[in-house]
Amino acid sequence: MIGDGGEQRMAEKNSMDNNKRVKRGKEIDLSISCMVNTEVGALLAVMRMSPGDQCASQFIPGADEALDTSLMSGLKSLRTFIFSIQQDWHSVDPSVYLSPFLEVIQFDEIAAPAVASALSATIKILKLDIFDSTTPHSREAMHLIVDAITNCRLERSGHAADDTILMRILQLLISCLRCKASVLLSDSAVCTIVNTCFQVVQQSASRGHLLQRSARLAMHELVQMIYAHLPEVQRGSRNLADSDNFSSLNYGIGCMVDIFQFICSLLNVAAEVPDFNAMPSSPDEDVESFALVLINSAIEIAGEAIGEHPKLLKMIQEDLFYNLIRHGSHSTPLVLSLICSVVLNLYNNLRSLLKLQLEAFFRFVCLKIARGKLHSIQQEEVAIEGLVSFCRQPMFGIEMYTNFDCNPLYSNVFEEIGKLLCKRAFPNNGPLSSIQAQSFEGLVVMIQHIADGMEKSRSSKANSNLLSSNDASSFNSNLIRITEYKPFWTEKCERCDDPKAWVEFMRVRKYMKKRLLVSVNHFNLDEKKGLEFLKHAHLVPDPPEAQSLAYFLRFTPGLDKTMIGDYLGDPDEFHLKVLKEFTSTFDFKNMILDAALRNFLETFRLPGESQKIQRILEAFAERFYEQSDEMFVDKDAVFVLCYSLIMLNTDQHNAQVKKKMTEEEFIKNNRNINGGKDLPREYLSELFQSISTNEITLFDQSGGSVEMTPSRWINIINQSKTTDAYIFCEGQTQLNHDMFSIIAGPAMATLATVFEHADDDQIINQSMEGFLAVARIA
């Protein structure tokens, strides 16, 4: 009986709980009904006002009958409906109670206050989450809201009223993506939301600062919400080419690709060479900085997930990075700072997929500006700030050293950054300047990270068998002996899983690279003596082999470009083999002829002798024909057109030529060159426009161009597809002593001199920290 009584009490308790829930649910539904009723009443009140006195809230007797239009009828019907609902609000079709408000929003002839009131009501409904993704017909309702925003006429009366509408639209756009039903929006609808927000951003430029600021913040928030969804999107879940079903799918990678492409395109509005003294900042700079902030937000939020989506990744690898480098080298301090922030985020999230792009950024932007030759003090300071930010990343130094400094195909990124910081930190007479102080901070941080790596290496049991070879007192690069030639340009470590073998491979590679740079001086002074040194140092086989010599001429930095051109144009049989191997290092797939020719001619100076030019262009034509599409019938057609382009380049850009060749004359000169037939007129016209507007640069003797050109960028992209995988160095700390030995001389001199001249406590403390780090390394 006791058990039966307990069950009865439990049943009574459950019944009471259910009754409470039902009662609570009814109270919530009633509360929602009252809220919607309030919004309906407020909107009707505004619509009944005299158009001239709406702001003064004056009513006209009988206006209700005069304005009893379909809009007001819909609102009155809704007021009746909301108190007669027999089901909970969550189950009601949202279109029923949204449509009367949305009709007002879209109606052209209604006054601005009424539109603002309808927008506010819609915002409140979304914020209260009256419906979600499980509510029947919620997908259709969400798209009705987006359509209403799109069809809303933005300019109605005066600036103040219009600004109110624009502010409400911004709030509604954010609410659309923040509400629980936002997952039901299609890619097309999300793109429409972003596009509408950007239209408000554009309109706000001529209005008050508050509206402009609000519009930009709204755009920023939209981007963050959209790309926060990226990690949830499964790779390959969306066929972007399937446009038939595009609008019916929930939003995902499709809209993210389109939006990111749109944001990146905003970078192209900036002037090529801005006026750094302009005050205030130019509109171009304003748009550019706004775009960079949005790009940075997308990358911060999406993070590593970007690497799982090929279209997004390709956009970053090819288009975005090119624009960052192009604008970074000629930008204001503000834009340069934002660019450095974007690249730092890309480094932290995607560096394994951006190896050559990162190297190019350091070469053509940060290092170039930080050297302080052709840029303002403010730009130099920002560039050094950017470098120091990278140096603060614990693995940055060792990863730059292993991926670039130890690879003969690439520049010495770590060494150049380290020595640059030493140079810019070295004090003059007087207190340290801001640039000197920042450079010194970066140098100390770099040394501290090296010291941390040394301590990890010594304390790690996994590296205990390497202590003798890594100890500062035992390792000496002069002890490395190379007794035979190995194809070090393309050689890979066969035992990367063996730390000892990997370290030895890296050290030998770095040694070969040092010897290679020594050979440059010999070659530039005397070609024959340079080749003898290459054989003696086992940098090429003995007797020389064409491919190894071609790699030397193609990839070794600092070679005299004129001497390379003369060597390649020589009629000797071995030289012709080297020329063929040299051209085989280029990838001309999917490239138009002038871009391929620019890429080719950037690596050497074309000789002046016509026969040498002919031999070089014949080799180029053969390689281009091998990799081109079916447009050209044979390599001879490519050769003739190449020669014609060289002549056109001279004609268009030589000041001594008074009468310039016209496009029609160029096309006429190249008739019947393709196996007796004409090449497409559009193709020839494109070549003419490209050459006439952008000269094919033939380098001076040093070949020291420091500008990123489209052809050079194409070459970087092609190389990135076949380059070695990026080396992550978590736990690989055995090369830290090698790193310090490269910068030890200038670093110690800088530490000592700064400490001697310092009169600031912070600088003195940094100096002491630097000395302590050096002691840990030793």
Q: Which residues are catalytic?
A: 609
Ramachandran region, residue 80 (left: φ > 0; alpha: ψ -120 to 50; beta: rest): alpha
d(C-alpha 463, C-alpha 771), whole Å: 26
Does a cis peptide bond (omega within 30 degrees of 0) precede residue 543? yes
Kind and range of the H or E element at 597?
helix 593-601
Residue 432 neighbours by CB distance under 10 Å: 20
d(C-alpha 121, C-alpha 123), whole Å: 5
Q: Is there a contact between 101 and 91 (Cβ–Cβ < 8 Å)?
A: no
| Nearest partner of 81 among 90, 65, 72, 92, judged by Cα | 92
- Can you list the alpha helix ranges (DSSP code H) found in 351-492? 355-361, 367-370, 377-391, 396-400, 413-425, 434-459, 467-470
Q: Is there a contact between 132 and 180 (Cβ–Cβ < 8 Å)?
A: yes
Would you say the C-alpha torsion 362, 363, 369, 370 has a positive or negative sign? positive
Q: 122 to each of 223, 478, 527, 564, how far by Cα in Å?
A: 22, 76, 79, 71
Cα radius of gyration rounded to whole Å, the chain: 34
The alpha carbon of 176 is separated from its chain's Cα centroid by a whole number of angstroms, namely 28
d(C-alpha 64, C-alpha 79), whole Å: 15
Residue 506 neighbours by CB distance under 10 Å: 21
Backbone angles phi, psi at 677, to 5 degrees: -120, 165
Q: Is there a contact between 312 and 237 (Cβ–Cβ < 8 Å)?
A: no
d(C-alpha 538, C-alpha 407), whole Å: 17
DSSP, res 607: P
Residue 592 neighbours by CB distance under 10 Å: 15
d(C-alpha 231, C-alpha 222), whole Å: 16
Residue carrying the six token digits 């933005």: 154
